[in-house]
Amino acid sequence: REGYLIALAGNQNSGKTTLFNCLTGSNQHVGNFPGVTVEKKEGRIRAHKDAVVVDLPGIYSLSPYTSEEVVTRDFVLKEHPDVILNIVDATNIERNLYLSLQLMELGIPMVMALNMMDEVRASGNVIHVDVLSEHLGIPVIPISAGKNEGIADLIDQLMKTAQGGKMPAKMDFCSGEVHKAIHSIAHIIEDQAKEAGYPTRFAATKLVEGDEPMEKALRLTDNQCHIIEHVVQEMEANLQTDREAALADMRYTYIEAVCQDCVVKHQETKEQIR
């Protein structure tokens, strides 16, 4: 492939299309993803005609529940973009980071655009962007796509990351029983994941979640399926919760800790002053 491919991913209403327009101007092409009626928009970044951005559908997770999620996941895993540009609605940061953690597991260089910073400022809240970046191990650029602010900085970082090919510094956000299960399973499926072209950790996490397309894609033997099922059931028993809730709890626990460090709510600011 010539030039760079940038995949723009984020929750619905995070400002993806607004940002896409800022980045590409009128330089865009609309089509469909192969085999589905999900719209595919791509365009070249202004002043960087060698960089193509694809506006992926808005999603909440990388589990294959909707065709939008399947399209996004397949696109990233098959096309292997040079950079994932993850746009996050900063006014809704905890919910949005849930997807970010999953995108980081894909083992592709990532840049986070923290959008709607105009609204954050107006509310009197403060987000310490450097602290967030440090925690997540990826560059984070504050922007306001709606006001066309921060776009030049974002483009600079995108080009740097595309050229540098640096992976997220951390890709492992799991802890406790879930950590144990993911790592046991990763060990079992390592070769098959490589063969099928999936990052091992991502594949293992998906198997813990009970993701059927992943089970099929890896061509697991019956024996492997039994062992994996046993590992997951043991995890569920120890945590006294089901597999999906276990993963969601783990991610939100991590996100809460990160946000406690980097988000200062207006009320807290006033209390600190008082």
Q: Is residue 39 part of an annotated ligand binding site?
A: yes
Q: Which stretch binds ligand GDP (CB under 6 A): 1-9, 33-41, 143-151, 206-214?
A: 143-151
Annotated binding residue 118 = yes
Rounded Cα–Cα distance for residues 257 and 251 (Å)? 10
Give the footprint of Mg ion on this chain (CB under 5 A).
16-17
Tokens 């993806």 belong to 16
User: In 3D, which of 52, 40, 54 has the Cα closest to residue 4?
Assistant: 52
Q: Is 153 exposed, middle or buried (0-12, 13-18, 19+ CB in 10 A)?
A: middle
* Number of residues near K ion (by CB under 5 A): 1
Name the token pair of 182: 């993911």
Say how far apart CA 200 and CA 196 lie, in whole Å: 10
Does 86 carry a binding-site annotation? no
Nearest partner of 135 among 6, 262, 266, 270, judged by Cα? 262
For residue 241, the minimal CB distance to ligand GDP (Å) is 31
Tell me the two tokens of residue 71: 């399209």
The annotation status of 55 as a binding-site residue, yes or no, is: yes
Residues between 4 and 33 that touch K ion (CB under 5 A): 13
Pick one of 115, 157, 184, 200: the residue that binds ligand GDP (CB under 6 A).
115
Residue 55, number of CB atoms within 10 A of its CB: 25
Contact partner at residue 116 from Mg ion, ligand GDP, K ion, none, CB < 5 to 8 Å by partner kind: ligand GDP
- Nearest alpha-carbon partner for 84 in 4, 27, 149: 4
Asked whether position 96 contacts ligand GDP by CB under 6 A, the answer is no
Q: Residue 214 in contact with residue 179, Cβ under 8 Å?
A: no
Bridge partners of 224, per DSSP, are none
Between CA 177 and CA 53 the distance in angstroms is 38
Candidate residues 5, 9, 18, 96; the one interacting with ligand GDP per rule CB under 6 A: 18
Stretch that binds ligand GDP, among 8-16, 29-37, 159-167, 224-232 (CB under 6 A): 8-16
Q: Is 206 in the site for ligand GDP (CB under 6 A)?
A: no
| Least distance (Å) between residue 141 CB and K ion | 21
User: In this chain, which of 3, 17, 107, 126 binds ligand GDP, going by CB under 6 A?
Assistant: 17
Shortest Cβ 59–Mg ion spacing (Å): 11
**Backbone angles phi and psi of 210, in degrees to 5:** 85, 35
| Numbered residues of the known binding site | 10-17, 21, 24-25, 35-39, 55-58, 115-118
Summarize as ranges the residues that interact with ligand GDP (CB under 6 A).
10, 12-18, 58, 115-116, 118-119, 144-147
Query: Which residues participate in the annotated binding site for Mg(2+)?
Result: 21, 24-25
Residues lying near K ion in the complex (CB under 5 A) are found at 13
